[in-house]
Structure 1
Amino acid sequence: MSELLHRFAERAGDYRADVRLCSQAELPGVLSGLLGKEVVLPQGVPPEWVAGLATIVDDGLSPADLDRPQLSVLTGCAVAIAQTGTLVLDGGPGQGRRLLTLVPDHHVCVVFAHQIVADVPDMFTALPDPTRPLTMISGPSATSDIELNRVEGVHGPRRLDIVCVIDK
């Protein structure tokens, strides 16, 4: 496993994301085991990722449509940052609009090893279009009250699963 992939998985895990590693061939099976009964997809998710699963392609679903307990959303990402364990989405194909990753209770994101960069400056270099609006995700949604009691899922997904695909 590459050093960047190892560091990314470790840092994302520090933020309480569940990180799994797999090969391209194993990806559909891993996703099938993670996704719930209802799966929302943005435009551009490769069909082979979800072969055999019941899916709903986002065509402008409302926040109420996306705020259901059994709902999962599956996306890809533009880049991932090893130093911070951060996913970076720019709304490109397979990533969808921000609402998809901020409302559902469960987000599953696929990251390919070649998408992982060392740090934030490298992220800007790796982005296809650095002027696009970015959503940066470091673990499940979390906040703390004045006594530093951590609460997850208040402002976004309570569960974040990251599937890292090891490049050949």
Structure 2
Amino acid sequence: MTGSAREEILARVRAAVADLPDEPVAVPRGYLRHAPGVDPADREAVLTLMIERLEEYGADVHRASAAEMPSSLAAALPAGRVVVPAGIPERWLSRWGGEPVSDEPPLSKEQLDRVDAVLTTCAAAIAESGTIVLDAGPGQGRRAATLLPDLHVCVVRAEQVVSSMPEAIGSLDPRRPLTWISGPSATADIEMIRVPGVHGPRRLSVVLVDG
């Protein structure tokens, strides 16, 4: 770009913004604070929407009470080797007959690829989009451990599920490493052929715990 062309462009920009006030103008935010058609105070409606979205994505959903947790996890987890991050209560695995694998010290990518699954908790869940959010908190481990195994089993407490994204954002710490998961990993090529497991686990199983 020549100097004269640059000056002409800048002159047009200055002329276009000449009438704007010096002080910043507040931009109105008219987006919905809650999922449309769902009362956020109606917990059963919020949880039902979360389950519907997860199943639409192809995830398996197991709903259980706190007392049923060990049995539900035993049904969701494979009988093989599963990465179990620090912070997962031992009681949860009391009915499971597989082999828990520690990620401390960190396993290599090759080792993570050879395990059968990873088990985690989550930081929040969003019903409107069927999204689970991880922030590397207790029971969640590091990001790599949730991306390489073929199956991700995630425990979501009912009170962690909100109806929409704006509700979740306020509860999350932006300084933490946030991972947003909406169903099993998949992508589609130019012919719209869906291919699972390209960027993460090919299968997602969610244990939704009431109480």
TM bracket, shorter-chain basis: over 0.9
2:48 aligned with 1:6: yes
Alignment partner of 1:41 is 2:123: no
Specify the alignment match of 1:119 in structure 2: 164
Post-superposition, which runs of at least 4 consecutive aligned residues in structure 1 deviate over 3 A? Answer: none
1:131 shift after superposition: 2.1
Whole-Å separation in 1 of the counterparts to 2:139 and 2:75: 20
Residues 1:22 and 2:22 aligned together: no
3-state secondary structure, aligned to 2:149: coil
> What is the aligned counterpart of 2:123 among 48, 55, 78?
78
Matched, 1:62 2:108: yes
Which amino acid letter does the alignment assign opposite residue 63 of structure 1? K
SS in 1 for 2:184: coil
**2:49–2:127 contact (8 Å) kept in structure 1:** yes
- Gaps of at least 5 residues in structure 1 are none
Say which SS state the counterpart of residue 48 (structure 2) adopts: helix
1:86 CA drift (Å): 0.3
Instruction: For residue 40 of structure 1, report the CA deviation from its aligned partner.
Output: 0.7
Offset at residue 130 of structure 1 (A):
3.1
Q: Which residue of 2 aligns with 1:95?
A: 140
Give yes or no for contact 2:62–2:76 (8 Å, CA) kept in 1: no
Higher strand share: 1
Bigger relative contact order, structure 1 or 2 (CA pairs below 8 A, ≥6 apart): 1
Q: Does 1:105 align with 2:164?
A: no
Q: How many residues align?
A: 165
Match of 2:174 in 1: 130
TM-score normalised by length of structure 2: 0.75
Matched, 1:153 2:197: yes
Q: Which structure has the greater CA radius of gyration?
A: 2
Structure 2 alignment gaps of length 5 or more: 1-42
1:164 aligns with 2:196: no
TM-score by length of 1: 0.93
What SS does the aligned partner of 1:146 have? Answer: coil
Identity of aligned residues (%): 53
